[in-house]
């Protein structure tokens, strides 16, 4: 058999040479399209479900959030296992599917079960699905550095300018911002002043919530023209919150500033990001499941080059290897 094959090849040299050339060309194109990654992705086909319930202990979270979610997610088609973890104010359920299951089908059936379980959860708890990625999906990291901006300003630029643009890059599932300070309006109530003005905490909370909204109405027609009626009430500054009326005592309005001190401060943090021993602000780019890592990284670098000129003066994005301290 081998002798006949050799004899056939020698008699048809032109055909063998052409066939070999075609195989080499085909191999070259195949090599160009082969996904390249530093580490092979051997992770399981999984869908993550997160739920926050701030201020509650792990046992409360386990009994009232994790257990109803885990119970609802059992029995899904082609599910290998359901794992869960509960911590302070946080619940995570991992649904592991069999290999070969379409990840978007898996997310669809998980989301359906999660929606059915929401009525059984405590009020205000809203579960959400994790990104369409794998544990090996963290492909690119960067920090935002400046010698004239503080950590709060760096994190604000990251959340509202950089993150939306990088999230639109093809192949990116999520951009996870880490480090810095997330600014928020903080209303620090004084118990003595609340008692003096006969105002409850719930009244302050309700007044601020009700006064932080824009209201739309109909139109008024005058001289053949229509004027749109709008009520603008979105909070734009600390002074806007201070001047919100909570109630009135003897026809005298009681403002938020009468019972509280309103400031602009950082949100509570559970971890920091450090670089060279100093705190920093940055993010981790997470790619979608099944994407070519090298292509995603190249596209992210191109987008960073486009974003860089739009940043405030003195601020720059630096690709780096970072390690968050949780």
The single residue listed with the structure tokens 């094959």 is 5
Instruction: Among 36-50, 90-104, 192-206, 217-231, name the one with the lowest average pLDDT.
Output: 36-50
CATH architecture of the domain covering 184-266: 2-Layer Sandwich (3.30)
Q: Express each pLDDT in 111-120 by its tens digit.
A: 999 999 999 9
Give the pLDDT score at 305.
93
Please tell me the pTM assigned to this model.
0.78
45-129 CATH fold: Alpha-Beta Plaits (3.30.70)
* Average model confidence (pLDDT) across the chain: 88
Query: Average pLDDT, stretch 252-260?
Result: 93
- Whether 282 and 178 have beta carbons less than 8 Å apart is answered as yes
pLDDT of residue 325: 47
- Whether the CB-CB separation of 99 and 73 falls below 8 Å is answered with no
Rounded CA-CA distance 36/293 in Å is 6
pLDDT(32) > 80: no
Band (pLDDT 50/70/90 cuts) for residue 37 is: low
User: What share of the chain has pLDDT > 90, as a percent?
Assistant: 51
- Would you place residue 94 in the very low, low, confident or very high pLDDT band (cuts 50, 70, 90)? very high
132 vs 30: which has the higher pLDDT: 132
CATH number of 138-182+268-325: 3.30.70.1320
What is the phi/psi pair of residue 215, to 5°?
A: -120, 135
pLDDT(321) > 70? no
Q: pLDDT band at 322, cuts 50/70/90?
A: very low
Q: Check residue 36 and give its pLDDT.
A: 67
* C-alpha to C-alpha distance for 175 and 163, rounded to whole angstroms: 6
Where do the domains of the chain lie?
A: 45-129, 138-182+268-325, 184-266
Provide CB contacts within 8 A for 227, sequence distance 6+.
219, 220, 221
SS3 track for 71-109? HHHCCCCCEEEEEEEEECCEEEEEEEECCCCCHHHHHHH
Let me know if 324 is exposed, middle or buried by CB neighbors in 10 A (0-12, 13-18, 19+): middle
Is residue 326 scored above 80 in pLDDT?
Answer: no
14-18 average pLDDT score: 81
Cβ neighbours, 10 Å, residue 84: 17
Whether 45-129 shares its CATH topology with 184-266 is answered no
Dihedral of CA 216/218/221/222: which sign?
negative
Rounded-to-integer distance, Cα 91 and Cα 89, Å: 7
Residue range 187-199: mean pLDDT, rounded: 92
């Amino acid at each position: 058999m081998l002798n006949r094959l050799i004899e056939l090849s020698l008699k048809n040299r032109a055909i063998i040479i052409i066939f070999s050339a075609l195989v080499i060309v085909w191999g070259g194109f195949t090599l160009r399209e082969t996904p390249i990654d530093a580490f092979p992705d051997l992770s399981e086909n999984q869908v993550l479900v997160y739920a926050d319930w701030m201020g509650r202990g792990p046992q409360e979270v386990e009994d009232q959030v994790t257990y109803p979610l885990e119970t609802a997610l059992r029995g899904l088609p082609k599910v290998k296992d359901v794992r869960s973890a509960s911590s302070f104010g946080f619940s995570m359920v991992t649904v592991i599917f069999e290999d070969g299951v379409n990840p978007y089908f898996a997310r669809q059936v998980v989301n359906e079960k999660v929606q059915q379980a929401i009525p059984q959860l405590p009020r205000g708890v809203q579960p959400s699905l994790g990104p369409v990625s794998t544990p090996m999906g963290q492909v690119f990291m960067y920090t935002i550095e400046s010698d004239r901006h503080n950590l709060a300003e760096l994190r604000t630029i990251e959340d509202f300018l950089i993150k939306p643009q990088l999230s639109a890059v093809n192949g990116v599932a999520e951009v996870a911002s880490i480090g810095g300070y997330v600014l928020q309006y903080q209303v620090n109530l004084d118990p003595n002043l609340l008692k003096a003005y006969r105002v409850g905490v719930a009244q302050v909370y309700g007044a601020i919530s009700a006064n932080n909204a824009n209201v739309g109405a109909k139109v008024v027609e005058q001289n053949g023209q229509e004027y749109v009626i709008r009520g603008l009430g979105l909070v734009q500054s600390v002074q806007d919150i201070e001047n919100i009326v909570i109630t009135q005592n003897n026809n005298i309005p009681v403002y938020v500033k009468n019972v509280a001190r309103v400031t602009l401060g950082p949100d509570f943090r559970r971890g920091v990001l450090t670089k060279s021993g100093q705190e920093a602000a940055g993010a981790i780019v997470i790619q979608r499941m099944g994407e070519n890592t090298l292509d995603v990284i190249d596209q992210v670098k191109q987008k960073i080059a486009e974003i860089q000129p739009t940043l405030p003066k003195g601020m720059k994005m630096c690709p780096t290897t970072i390690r968050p301290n949780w």
